[in-house]
Amino acid sequence: MLKRTLTTWIAATLTAALLIQPLTATAGAKEDIAKQLSELRKQEQKTAEQQKAADQKAAGLKKEKQQQVVSLNDLQTDIKTQGDKLEKLETKITETSLKLQQTGEQLEEAQDRVAKRDTLLKSRVRMMYMKGSVSYLDVLLSATSFSDFIDRFDSIKALVGQDKKILAENKKDRNEIAAMKKDVEAKLADVKDMYADAEDLKASLMDKEKRVKAVIASLSQEEAKQEDISEESEASLVALAKQKQQLYTKQQEIIAKEKAEEEKRKKAAAAAAAAAAAKGGGNKTVASSHNGQMLWPVPSSDTISSTFGYRVDPIAGVRKLHKGVDIAAPRGTKILAADDGVVLIASWVRGYGNCIVIDHGDGVWTWYGHIMEGGIYVSEGDTVKRGQVIAGVGSTGDSTGNHLHFEVRINENPVNPLPYIQ
């Protein structure tokens, strides 16, 4: 009896001794995985911070570009206004020049009248010179009768009056036409000055327009660079997530193996105690329960505001692939895990804002983007269940309103998620 008991104890001790070494080895592997995951989390956190800073920079660029576009539109409006003003001034210059031409013609006519009157006066003076100087008094005193005196007086009066009238009309014509010409010339000079000022202003506005267009082009180039950085950043983040996914898988395999070994040890100990052989265990990993029909992630809304496929991006304004579907819903609406899995990412992702990525096994990942601030309810490394509330709908990242951006990726490549959802 004692011999049998001793034999049983030795068998149990040997079995335990054989199992201690693998458990020690797996413990070391777990520590190594934990260290690697810790390093990857640090890298991911650093990347997330860089992405958030890049998003803020991109938002600043977009705002500045919008302001510059508004400034450009205002300038173009001002340029058109100045163009219209120049056209009106050109018309006014033409009209004033025509008026000046007409005034010149009037002045020439007046000068012709003055010349004719001058000729008449000169002919009278010449006649008086040829016949000798005769005073008006002599003419009156040489009258032969009173009636002849009256006739001579009326004639002299008419002659003197005519001379005065001619001289007055000459002076009036000269003064009026000269004043008119001076006035028109002054107005023409003023209009030309106004035209020159308007033309200078238009040239200045057009110069500003060129500079603003150059600024907008520069901002567009910078936005394009940011878009390239975004693509590179996403690729880097996906690579980190892939490494984590592999480490989590190994971690789960080790945990499953430990459980299996523990079960095997218990069975072996029991079998040794009972002097019976036992076999146990088997490897088990966390696998997806998905069967091609995932759960709709926003049960309270079935409104798809944007489908999977190429479109003109509402933020970047360029044609690019929309990698998922957008489900419109109010801020804070519950977001559910589409299937069982392990959380690979629960942080800020460039363009996605606050984002969760879940690994469902077999190379299947789901992405949940634009989650509200403070709306991520799970942490990286968590095991989640199908239908579990993981987040709240928001509008962070490159978003124009509250909605969930939902993606399905197969081996890191985005596919149309609708065929995978119930």
Task: Encode burial over 387-399: b for 16+ CB neighbours within 10 A, e otherwise.
Answer: ebebbbbbbbbbb
Token readout for 384 is 């989640």
Burial of 332 (0-12, 13-18, 19+ CB in 10 A): middle
Residue 291's nearest CA partner among 394, 201, 361 is: 361
In sequence order, the β-bridge partners of residue 322 are 309
Token readout for 199 is 């033309």
pLDDT at 265: 67
pLDDT at 303: 93
pLDDT at 235: 76
Query: In this structure, how many other beta carbons lie within 10 angstroms of the beta carbon of residue 89?
Result: 19
C-alpha distances (whole Å) from 4 to each of 18, 276, 408 are: 21, 13, 61
d(CA 345, CA 390): 12
d(CA 259, CA 191): 98
pLDDT 10s digit of each residue in the chain, 422 long? 434 444 444 444 444 444 444 545 566 777 788 778 777 777 777 777 777 777 777 778 778 878 888 888 887 888 888 788 878 878 887 887 787 778 777 777 777 777 776 676 666 555 554 544 455 556 556 667 767 777 766 776 676 666 667 777 777 777 777 787 787 778 778 777 877 877 787 788 788 778 878 877 887 777 676 666 666 777 777 887 888 788 888 877 777 777 777 667 666 655 665 554 333 333 333 334 444 589 999 999 999 999 999 988 877 777 889 999 999 999 999 999 999 999 999 999 888 999 999 999 989 999 999 999 999 999 988 999 999 999 999 999 889 899 999 999 999 899 999 999 86
Query: What pLDDT, in 10s, does the model give residues 183-207?
Result: 777 877 877 787 787 778 778 878 8
pLDDT at 35: 78
d(CA 393, CA 332): 5
Query: What pLDDT, in 10s, does the model give residues 309-321?
Result: 998 887 777 788 9
DSSP letter for each residue of 363-392: TEEEEEEEEEEEEE-S-TT-EE-TT-EEEE
Q: Would you call 188 helix, strand, or coil by DSSP?
A: helix
Task: Encode burial over 291-329: b for 16+ CB neighbours within 10 A, e otherwise.
Answer: eeebbebbeebeeeebebeeeeeeebeeeeebbbbbbbb
Whether residue 14 contacts residue 277, with contact meaning beta carbons closer than 8 Å, is answered with no
d(CA 360, CA 384): 10
Token readout for 171 is 């002076």
Task: Phi first, then psi: give them for residue 275, nearest 5 degrees.
Answer: 60, 40
d(CA 90, CA 72): 26
Cα–Cα–Cα angle for 222, 225, 226, nearest 5°? Answer: 90
**Looking up tokens 């490159």, which residue turns up?**
398
Query: In this structure, how many other beta carbons lie within 10 angstroms of the beta carbon of residue 157?
Result: 11
pLDDT at 141: 63
d(CA 234, CA 51): 9
